[in-house]
């Protein structure tokens, strides 16, 4: 189990060859480890590492970066303690002019959608519409998290796409490779918001897991606003899977017969319906 968790954390295919060292080979294996030719990792320590979260993020650098959807924007880069992953807080507008309930969006990186405009997802549209919505609301923060493919990495996301082309949905494809339906750790977002001094937010999301994770971390999520992309022939199945198997609030987008507000989260104020896009 520890080997699989380590591989997953490194965004490698979680498949490991496990064998028991015979008593008469223990001394030889210990000598190989001592020589540096073999790395030994204690299984209990590996599990503690994988369950501990990203650790305290370091605020590394920042600069003004005008965006097409929000000209008054500033990028603040954070790095995880292990030095592997970096995340960006896009600070929009002047903080003195922000609403009391700071508009915030958590956006996981998607190379194919954000950069190349992939039709398999709605990520690129959600990214740009999220920035524009925050700007229109008076400013706030978009957290751009290095969590490609719901945390499995680009290589595995492309493997999953291949399986989807053979008939699996987005969740089953990830699970066939060896991952859970969502490998992301939203404690990273809490760390970033804490560093920025934000604890009361209007969350722009369709994902109940993001609401729950931030609330659990102590962030006061006072309301929610939907952020939709376009439904296309290429992404419709993906979106329906997110709604039916991930519980995303997408009924209004996917079902023209659905009554507005029938997928509102019970944990948020009823007035939140007024914030819907």
CATH number at residue 192: 3.40.50.10990
Whether 155 is in a domain gets the answer no
DSSP-based three-state secondary structure for 47: helix
Whether 43 is in a domain gets the answer yes
Whether residues 14 and 95 fall in one domain: no
Whether residues 33 and 141 fall in one domain: no
Whether residues 214 and 266 fall in one domain: yes
Per-residue tokens: 102? 């700071």
Whether residues 65 and 41 fall in one domain: no
Whether 164 is in a domain gets the answer no
CA 274 to chain centre: 26
Whether residues 135 and 217 fall in one domain: yes
- What are the residues whose beta carbons fall under 8 Å from the beta carbon of 179, sequence distance 6 or more? 8, 14, 151, 152, 156
Q: Quick one: pLDDT at residue 87?
A: 97
Check residue 66 and give left, alpha or beta (phi > 0: left; psi -120 to 50: alpha).
beta
Whether residues 114 and 191 fall in one domain: yes
Q: How many domains does the chain have?
A: 2
- What are the residues whose beta carbons fall under 8 Å from the beta carbon of 78, sequence distance 6 or more? 57, 58, 59, 60, 86, 87, 88, 89, 191, 192, 195
- Residue range(s) defining the domain that contains residue 22: 2-51
65 phi, psi to nearest 5 deg: -135, 95
DSSP-based three-state secondary structure for 30: helix
Q: Quick one: pLDDT at residue 50?
A: 63
Whether residues 12 and 62 fall in one domain: no
Q: Quick one: pLDDT at residue 51?
A: 67
Q: Quick one: pLDDT at residue 142?
A: 99
Whether residues 143 and 239 fall in one domain: yes
Whether residues 23 and 136 fall in one domain: no
- Residues known to be catalytic: 182, 184
- CA-CA distance, 168 to 165, in Å (whole number)? 7
CA 253 to chain centre: 21
DSSP-based three-state secondary structure for 107: strand
Whether 111 is in a domain gets the answer yes
Whether residues 41 and 81 fall in one domain: no
Question: What is the chain's pLDDT, residue by residue, as a tens digit (277 residues)?
Answer: 777 777 776 767 777 778 788 888 878 888 888 888 888 888 787 777 666 666 679 999 999 999 999 999 999 999 998 777 899 999 999 999 999 999 999 999 999 999 999 999 999 999 999 999 999 999 999 999 999 999 999 999 999 999 999 999 999 999 999 888 999 999 999 999 999 999 999 999 999 999 999 999 999 999 999 999 989 899 999 999 999 998 899 988 887 434 334 444 434 543 343 333 3
Whether residues 189 and 257 fall in one domain: yes
Give the DSSP H/E element, type plus range, for residue 59.
Answer: strand 58-64
Per-residue tokens: 253? 């987008």
Length of the chain: 277
Whether 256 is in a domain gets the answer yes
Whether residues 106 and 10 fall in one domain: no
**β 73-79/86-92 pair status:** antiparallel
Instruction: Supply the DSSP string of 253-268, one letter for each residue.
Output: HH-TTSPTTTT--TTS
Whether 19 is in a domain gets the answer yes
Q: Quick one: pLDDT at residue 260?
A: 39
Whether 178 is in a domain gets the answer no
Whether 112 is in a domain gets the answer yes
């Amino acid at each position: 189990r520890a080997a699989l968790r380590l591989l997953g954390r490194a965004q490698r295919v979680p498949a490991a060859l496990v064998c028991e060292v015979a008593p008469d080979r223990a001394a030889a294996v210990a000598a190989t480890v001592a020589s540096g030719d073999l790395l030994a990792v204690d299984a209990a320590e590996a599990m503690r590492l994988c369950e501990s979260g990203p650790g305290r993020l370091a605020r590394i650098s920042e600069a003004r970066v005008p965006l097409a959807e929000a000209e008054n924007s500033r990028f603040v880069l954070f790095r995880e303690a292990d030095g592997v992953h970096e995340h960006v807080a896009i600070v929009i507008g002047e903080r003195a002019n922000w609403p009391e309930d700071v508009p915030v969006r958590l956006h996981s990186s998607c190379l194919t959608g954000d950069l190349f405009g992939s039709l398999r997802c709605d990520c690129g549209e959600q990214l740009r519409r999220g920035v524009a919505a925050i700007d229109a609301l008076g400013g706030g923060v978009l957290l751009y998290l290095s969590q490609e493919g719901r945390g499995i990495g680009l290589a595995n996301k492309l493997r999953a796409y291949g399986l989807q082309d053979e008939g699996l949905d987005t969740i089953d494809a990830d699970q066939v490779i060896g991952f859970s339906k969502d490998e992301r750790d939203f404690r990273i977002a809490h760390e970033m918001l804490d560093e920025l001094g934000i604890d009361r937010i209007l969350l722009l999301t369709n994902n109940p897991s993001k609401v729950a994770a931030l609330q659990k971390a102590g962030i006061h999520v006072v309301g929610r606003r939907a952020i939709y992309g376009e439904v296309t022939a290429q992404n419709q199945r993906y979106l329906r899977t997110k709604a039916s198997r991930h519980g995303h609030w997408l009924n209004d987008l996917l079902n023209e017969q659905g009554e507005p507000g029938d997928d509102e989260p019970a944990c948020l104020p009823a007035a939140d319906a007024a914030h819907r896009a």
